Amino acid sequence: MSGYKKIGVDVGGTFTDFVLVDEERRVIFTGKQLTSASNPGIAICEGVERIATKSGLRIDQLSGIVHGTTLVTNTIIERNGAMVGLITTRGFRDVLEVGHEMRYDLYDLFIEKPEPLVPRERRLTVTERIDRDGDVLKTLNENEVICAGKELVDQGVDVIAICFINAYLNPEHEMRAVELLNKHFPNMPITASTVVVPEIREYERACTVTANAYVLPRMRGYISDLEQKLVDMGLNGPLNVMLSGGGIAALDVAQESPIQMIESGPAAGAISGAYYGKITSSDAVIAFDMGGTTAKMCLIEDGEPEHSNSFEAGRVKRFYNGSGIPLKVPVIDLIEIGAGGGSIAYIDAMRLMKVGPASAGSEPGPVCYGRGGEAPTVTDADLLLGYLSPDYFLGGEMVLDIDLVKSAVEKKLAEHTGLSVTEAASGIHAIVNNNMAAVTRRYIAEKGRDPRRYTLVATGGAGPVHAYGLAKQLRLGRIICPLGAGVSSALGFLIAAPATDRVNSYVRRVDDLDPAIVNEFYSKMENSAITALLEAGADGDAITVNKRVEMRYVGQGFEIDVALPDGPFGDDLTELLNEAFLERYDELFGRRISDVPVEAITWRLTASGSAPHLTLNFDGQEIDKGNAKKGMRDVYFPETGYMPCAVYSRYGLSAGDGIKGPAIVEERESTVVAGPDTTLRVDDYLNLIIDIHYD
């Protein structure tokens, strides 16, 4: 670990964040750069060069870069991806529109469904059929595949996706179709469902492979261009990526299955939140990461974020399950809301003030940036309320224009509502906090948890500014704000372990399972996963494997996740699975039904390497011990209005220091806001611990 010199890069909608860890000198450097929306690689390269220079390192001395981006999810949400053609089994052309034949809102007479990523004219069918057991019913008509490919090429598609019925049981036809298309159309990118998501449920599998195709050309071009730029700058180490499940992977994953990166940035924020929960001995944590465009919340129990095997992208209605595109992708289970520093405030048709989800982004950005933005945002409101300093944004690199903000709030909001400028700004801050609190309450309630037992770990550029208001809404007693919170997601890339997931759907009643078949496909999954981890730089001696299976009672429509022992499995497999299922079912639902047959649906494997054990020493932040208090300024709190508030430099605070609220604590990438009913202290890791004292 003495040679560990890596940079974590998190590309957000407004800012790109950087963290450089040099374990040899035991220092950490942080940085922030406005995202170059048209070409994110520009900001990445500029930021990498800048932070390396700041640390005194050359680019060729770095041992690698770990990267995450919102480019995948933004491409799907904004619908500006590739022109995709889909080849599927005859008779299943309309699976993307038929879906589950269910309404996500029974009482909405004008229900809007998400538009398929591939319109009907670019969905073609061919003769072939695999049955439910994986046997060939109809052989693949190879001439039809070639003709379908030619028709799609003539239509001008950028990429072709293939999804055949029951191919997860037998990929023979899909692989042959890929072979034929590669031969006849060698420059056309091809993606097959059994490579991206080899599991049951046709609708989800079709949605996932088409979404992968939709972002594939853009991600391939972006990654290739970025890699070449970094190599030209002198980078010798690998460029790795973070997957949505929280694992670090080699670059080829982003180039072949970029859909696995759809939540890479938020996943890093959750990992960072889990890390700070561990080092502060907080068993129950809400990881709250609020950036310029979105806010993310994730529940952490005993140091581990919760995971899910599915994700819904591009929802038509934010809070409605089923209103988006269902993807079968391993993800850290979190919620995301369009609430960030760049979220725009506006007056709706009912003359009510609303905030978000539309964002000013980085171009033009909030009004206070002075880059042409005209719509007031959350950051503008925070500036007017005294939470942000106009002279110390990004450590003074960007001066904020408060007069522009006053004029914009007056013109766009105050004149239409009869509110003063201060009341309008306070309303923006309160609305965005209420929006986040409402979503978090619902998320926690769905998990059957009590929010009051949780500690809030606040990260992201806007997270520490809004953590106090959010915690008050949720009646939380403690907030943890790490040093460098504004770039904490980028740090998450550097403390995450290499990890990868494999899946195989093999549907059988438990009493009909053949242990030899189960052992065979688990062996293949394990070998594939370990190979991928070794390519990502994992230590082969430190790789661990976790096995799970999704099971249900025969006749049920949904499964539960059941943990499995290492194996290999023997003749007692049926007994083992039955008992494991009944225990898990009883744990979740409080009952055991032992006289109904059970079936196994999907078998999963997660392989993980060891995570880096970093020593967080922020000497690289030019700590100035003993010069903490910067002065006073008037700050607005709902209970008191404007009141004098002490302003502190984060870099002047030492472990053991205590402060009585109200207080503003500034650092380069974020600002901590604590109200009059708080006390603050600095722990041994330089985390700022804020305790809220309720009456």
Tens-digit pLDDT profile for residues 120-167: 999 999 999 999 888 999 999 999 999 999 999 999 999 999 999 999
522: left (phi over 0), alpha (psi -120 to 50) or beta: alpha
| Rounded average pLDDT over 575-599 | 90
Do 114 and 314 meet the contact criterion of CB atoms below 8 Å apart? yes
> Where does the pLDDT of residue 620 fall: very low under 50, low under 70, confident under 90, or very high at 90 and above?
very low
The most confident of 214-223, 258-267, 481-490, by mean pLDDT = 214-223
Q: By mean pLDDT, which of 203-212, 250-259, 432-441, 612-621 is the weakest?
A: 612-621
Give me the count of residues in the chain: 695
Do 39 and 55 meet the contact criterion of CB atoms below 8 Å apart? no
User: What is the distance between the alpha carbons of residues 475 and 693, in angstroms, rounded to a whole number?
Assistant: 10
pLDDT at 624: 58
Identify which has the larger pLDDT, 615 or 298.
298
Q: Which of 623, 692, 626, 625 is nearest to 663 (CA)?
A: 692
| Rounded average pLDDT over 655-674 | 91
Residue 536: pLDDT above 70? yes
Query: Three-state SS for 503?
Result: strand
| Rounded average pLDDT over 186-212 | 93
Q: What percent of the chain has pLDDT over 90?
A: 42
Residue 494: pLDDT above 70? yes
User: What is the distance between the alpha carbons of residues 479 and 681, in angstroms, rounded to a whole number?
Assistant: 11
Tens-digit pLDDT profile for residues 439-473: 898 888 877 788 888 999 999 889 999 999 999 99
Tens-digit pLDDT profile for residues 425-438: 999 999 999 999 99
| Rounded average pLDDT over 210-239 | 91
| Rounded average pLDDT over 168-178 | 94
> Where does the pLDDT of residue 336 fall: very low under 50, low under 70, confident under 90, or very high at 90 and above?
confident
pLDDT at 610: 81
Structural domain spans, the chain: 81-214, 343-430, 499-608, 628-692
Residue 83: pLDDT above 90? yes
The most confident of 74-83, 383-392, 489-498, by mean pLDDT = 383-392
Query: Three-state SS for 690?
Result: strand
pTM here? 0.83
Q: Cα dist. 548→196, 331, 384, 556, 600 in Å?
A: 19, 15, 52, 19, 11
User: What is the distance between the alpha carbons of residues 324 and 245, in angstroms, rounded to a whole number?
Assistant: 20
> Where does the pLDDT of residue 623 fall: very low under 50, low under 70, confident under 90, or very high at 90 and above?
low
Residue 601: pLDDT above 90? yes
Q: What percent of the chain has pLDDT over 70?
A: 97
393 DSSP 8-state letter: B
| Rounded average pLDDT over 1-17 | 77
User: What is the distance between the alpha carbons of residues 148 and 528, in angstroms, rounded to a whole number?
Assistant: 32
> Where does the pLDDT of residue 615 fall: very low under 50, low under 70, confident under 90, or very high at 90 and above?
low
